[in-house]
Structure 1
């Protein structure tokens, strides 16, 4: 799985004018499943996201995790993370999982996140 992680003070995702996800301070994570991925990769990614020590402690050191800060976690499916732009002007997306697998793995990741965080 590919993931682009961004610390945020707040984040919101809208679709067709409706808010479908919103958090305060925490992590906004764009996620892309790859063809060989399985539910095991979802589980490893979630553990990593919850344990990454990328938030400042009282001394200003990046020493706290999402679990430590009780921050929000906003997951967004984004197959374009797998774009191949090495040649030409039209990106290729063969590095991304087919839509059915990608959707299933993303939904599994969301379920895991809801249960654990």
Structure 2
């Protein structure tokens, strides 16, 4: 259900992009030329090199967290009146991010 793009390049890397924020999320170096990259099912993917077929699962839970432009000073887990756990992020520019309920 995430809006992501996986790309591969001649430099042997697989990149993951968030299409909502247009930001780069993750990079993986395969150390081999990639000939094919495709989805198997939801968050299960594979890539093919000259010698190997590699299956990997992309953990999308990390996308829960916000991408910040400022240094994170503190993370705090708290529970509100309705007993729902949330994460608060305090940033160096004095802003604060409230992250949705933690499963």
Same fold (TM over 0.5): no
Q: TM-score range by the shorter chain?
A: under 0.3
Higher strand share: 2
TM-score (norm 1): 0.24
Q: Name which one, 1 or 2, has greater alpha-carbon Rg.
A: 2
Higher helix share: 1
TM-score (norm 2): 0.26
